[in-house]
Structure 1
Amino acid sequence: MKPIRLATVAAAAVLALLPATAHADTAYPDPRPITGQQIIHDPTVARLQSGGYVAYSTGGVLGARVSKDMRQWDDAGNAFAAPPGWWYQYNDTGDPWAPDLSFRDGRYWLYYAVSSWGTNHSAIGVATSPTGLPGTWTDHGKVFTSGKSDPYNAIDPAVIHAEGRLWMTFGSYWTGIRMVELDPGTGKAKPGAEVHHLATRPDAPYAVEGPYIVRHGRYYYLFASYDACCAGVNSTYKIRVGRSTSVTGPYTDSTGKPLLEGGGDLLLAGHGRYVGTGGESVFRDRGQDWLAYHYYDAQDNGTPKLGLNRLSWKSGWPELR
């Protein structure tokens, strides 16, 4: 999620009443130390085929960071030199949100969302690149859209190849997390594709968004951000997870509670200076899984910064180091 998508002041009040995490601060590891350009929001990170790392994020025309060692990060401009014209159908500034970077069929694929504050008049687009580096992207237009009559919001995309097919999760508020099948040739939603429902909260404003699915062993794991982002040190973002033997669900937490009924194991929440942890994605680097996310630095006026933690697996569930 980018700017908070709360349609009314009343919705914001509901968020303030949501229960806080029951975990002690000591339950959560700090992100690994990094240097250089740390400011980021909704990061997607990948190790490039050519070596080194790239991260894209909300801000600018999809802001870019590059690194040789995943510790020193440098500003690398933006994915695009200028917004494609069709973005202005969804906001006045051509402002994209929450990118998702992947490599498939010899190309890098960059999915992203365009929308406006507090509305589900939204669209997910896609671009491709031979290198994955900023300035090399070719936009291919809309992948999937939502309108005011839809019960979902077409933002926060994340793509996974599973069960011989290509899928995209998405969603923010508006009854939560959804999934559609994509055409692997075009990278866009198949015409008439079923919209699967994966996770939600029991009460409005259904504060769950930013999904990301990873396969480990026989399970698919759905990570999502719960509660409110984008309020600096007042943010209450946290990351929860559930799993399923099928990519389309149903997803349940470790107690067996369905994510469609508000379930989800708490993986990471704010602690110490690291406030409002969320906007997450997962990437793999030489056999090691990593969780990338943003947090708001309470020791730096709530500035959003890049968090990276090793992601390991214990008794069939993810844990952070």
Structure 2
Amino acid sequence: MRSPSRFTSEYPLWRQVLRRRLTGLVLLLAMTWAAPQAQALQGAFGAHDPSTIVKDGNKYWVFTTGQGIYGMYSTDLVNWTPGPRPVFPNNTFPSWITAKVPDFKGLFWAPECVFQNGKYYLYYSCSTFGSKVSAIGLVTNVTLDPASPSYNWVDQGEVVSSNNGSAANAIDPGIFRDASNNGWMTYGSFFGGIRNVQLDAATGKLMAGATQYAVANGGVEAAYVKQNGAYYYLFINRGACCQGAASTYYIQVGRSLSPSGPFLDKNGTDLNNNGGTTLLSASGRYRGPGHTGIFEENGTSYFTHHYYDSYDRGNPKLGIGKLTWDAAGWPVVTRDWLAPAATAGAAVRYVVSAGPAATGLVWQARGCTGAAGEAIEQAARTGSTCQQWDFTALGNGDYKITSAVGGQAVGVAGCSDANGALLQLGSYSGQECEQFHIDRANDGSLVFSSLNGNRAVEVPLASANPGVQLALFDYNGCACQRWFLTNSTVTATASRTTLTGISIYPIPASRGTFTLDLSGRKAAGAVTVEVLDLQGRVVYRRLVQNPEATVAVEAGLLPGLFLVQVRQGTGLFTQKLTVL
């Protein structure tokens, strides 16, 4: 929740509306705690002001605004489950909070969690709506697993507080590190703007005598800083939160060569002078996006935020998008996990397989005629055109999928939203039963969910038999609901002349370094070495003009499964490569 400071005196009715919205969210979160069950796809329920994702063991955690500090976890970054209890259960919280914020009633705002010094440091905000009397506190734990005997949140006291005479409001902590690995905290709100201040490495609190740098102003809050290359990027929110689907929140960004600023947008305007380049705003069902977090794992950057779902009564949910950086070094956020087409609005052709090796069962139009009503089944891979599918991005992670034979669209039979509804081909009319949202799981696999009913595409009963028709079921994390895409242009290269006399070692490769052995080839000439990920994207490319008998390839790959391609003239050599 936020402090609508700049509107407090000018728009008292607006503040009353926000107060009612806050009350509704409290009830919403209370219902979530009362029913700890797996959440649906398209965002975890009740997630407002989410912390940056933090991992403990095989679980990913986020903490959000809520009574006692609400937390939820996932094992795949797709399905989220509420934690069994809040950080401070039964409205028991440290007594120092009452001394600093007398009207505080246990509804903690905008927590942030990081791992350092062998512990999890959870920062949180204590305040009341429309007030500058606030505090940021800190609690630590050696584990996030409530079932562990070592699980115990230890109060570390106040980090910073504010009162009616303070320059900045002590809410919305965000933690980041500079190029020298020094810890910093960014915090603040509409009251006085955003501050960056260095932290003490041992305590995680403000460094004694540290300067507090004013880095953004003009109705800003929910700040977060991320270093990329030479720059520090400051993400901020402007607009109004907490009004459900009517929220006008949006995320902007500026960058600086120093954590102390100044932070300038793409036009060179200082964020201290109402600058900011808009990064994420309302789009489709995703209204009022806010509160940035960035989590990186295995070469993928996940951009977390909350949004208000206009398809679900404006409920706040956790959104996870893909973060990349453009040629000029500016962040780009999208909910489309597939690589974009070369031409806007065009389709990209893929083979859809049930496993990362892309040699097992794949999607196929039964009968290979492409006729309306033809079932979508799994079949042994043959390279046939009826096993190729064109994905057209519709925006916000939604896709139309059509068969390369006949151009008919994948849809749900009878537009049913029931468990067990079967997939088949039909003429595309733009209905939700002909559109699929794609989420990315932590292992790189993809989950397809039909927009009608929000259920996942699955091989019924996890069958490994060819000929089984695909259907919709509630998402449960089964491997039978996970899919891998291979760009069909990669598949098509199998018809080229096969290069012989080439080998790769070692397999598995360590840290993405391997040797290409060309000693068995007599022919001279340049070779092109490419490494593709599981989605058919080229992650490494090198042209070797005058190859020796052996060529060292230092691709710097993260652990996973890849496809190595070596081209020489019209010839092609391919080899799967596991990286440890």
- Tell me the TM-score normalised to structure 1 length: 0.87
The residue type paired with residue 168 of structure 1 is M
1:2 offset after TM fit, Å?
3.4
Are 2:171 and 1:155 aligned?
Answer: yes
SS in 2 for 1:277: strand
Larger Rg: 2
Sort the Cα spacing of 1:268 and 1:66 in 2 relative to 1 into closer, same or farther, 3 A. Answer: same
Are 2:319 and 1:319 aligned?
Answer: no
1: CA distance, partners of 2:236 / 2:294: 11
2: CA distance, partners of 1:301 / 1:71: 21
Are 2:78 and 1:80 aligned?
Answer: no
Partner of residue 24, structure 1: none
Indicate if the aligned counterparts of 1:108 and 1:130 stay in contact, CA closer than 8 A: yes
SS in 1 for 2:80: strand
Counterpart selection for 1:124 from 119, 129, 136: 136
1:34 offset after TM fit, Å?
2.8
Sort the Cα spacing of 1:41 and 1:14 in 2 relative to 1 into closer, same or farther, 3 A. Answer: closer
Residues paired across the two proteins, number: 299
Sort the Cα spacing of 1:83 and 1:250 in 2 relative to 1 into closer, same or farther, 3 A. Answer: same
Counterpart selection for 1:198 from 209, 215, 218: 215
1:177-206 superposed Cα distances (whole Å, 9 cap, x missing partner): 1112211111111233211100112xxxxx
The residue type paired with residue 138 of structure 2 is V
The alignment's C-alpha RMSD in Å is 2.1
Partner of residue 272, structure 1: 284
Sort the Cα spacing of 1:152 and 1:36 in 2 relative to 1 into closer, same or farther, 3 A. Answer: closer
Indicate if the aligned counterparts of 1:54 and 1:133 stay in contact, CA closer than 8 A: no
The structure with the greater share of residues assigned to helix is 2
Aligned ranges for residues 213-224 of structure 1 at < 5 Å?
213-224=225-236
Sort the Cα spacing of 1:278 and 1:39 in 2 relative to 1 into closer, same or farther, 3 A. Answer: same
Indicate if the aligned counterparts of 1:243 and 1:253 stay in contact, CA closer than 8 A: yes
Sort the Cα spacing of 1:133 and 1:139 in 2 relative to 1 into closer, same or farther, 3 A. Answer: farther
2: CA distance, partners of 1:12 / 1:261: 26
2: CA distance, partners of 1:36 / 1:310: 14
Indicate if the aligned counterparts of 1:57 and 1:98 stay in contact, CA closer than 8 A: yes
Indicate if the aligned counterparts of 1:242 and 1:265 stay in contact, CA closer than 8 A: yes
Indicate if the aligned counterparts of 1:47 and 1:285 stay in contact, CA closer than 8 A: no
Partner of residue 22, structure 1: none
1:126 offset after TM fit, Å?
0.8
Unaligned runs of 5+ in 1: 16-32, 202-206
Partner of residue 375, structure 2: none
The residue type paired with residue 2 of structure 1 is R
Greater RCO, CA 8 A, separation 6+ = 1
Partner of residue 310, structure 2: 298
1:251-305 superposed Cα distances (whole Å, 9 cap, x missing partner): 0011111111111110000122211111222222222221111111112221111
Counterpart selection for 1:143 from 159, 178, 185: 159
1: CA distance, partners of 2:332 / 2:43: 27
Question: Structure 1 stretch 174-183 or stretch 141-150: which is displaced more?
Answer: 174-183
Partner of residue 244, structure 2: 232
1:5 offset after TM fit, Å?
4.4
Sort the Cα spacing of 1:145 and 1:137 in 2 relative to 1 into closer, same or farther, 3 A. Answer: same
1: CA distance, partners of 2:190 / 2:139: 25
Counterpart selection for 1:71 from 47, 53, 78: 78
User: Alignment identity in percent?
Assistant: 38
1:156 offset after TM fit, Å?
0.3
- Tell me the TM-score normalised to structure 2 length: 0.49
1: CA distance, partners of 2:4 / 2:73: 27
2: CA distance, partners of 1:56 / 1:8: 28
Partner of residue 308, structure 1: 320
2: CA distance, partners of 1:308 / 1:231: 21
1:11-31 superposed Cα distances (whole Å, 9 cap, x missing partner): 47899xxxxxxxxxxxxxxxx
Sort the Cα spacing of 1:319 and 1:36 in 2 relative to 1 into closer, same or farther, 3 A. Answer: closer
Indicate if the aligned counterparts of 1:116 and 1:122 stay in contact, CA closer than 8 A: yes
Partner of residue 50, structure 1: 57
2: CA distance, partners of 1:285 / 1:5: 37
1:132 offset after TM fit, Å?
2.9
2: CA distance, partners of 1:37 / 1:183: 34
2: CA distance, partners of 1:249 / 1:6: 24
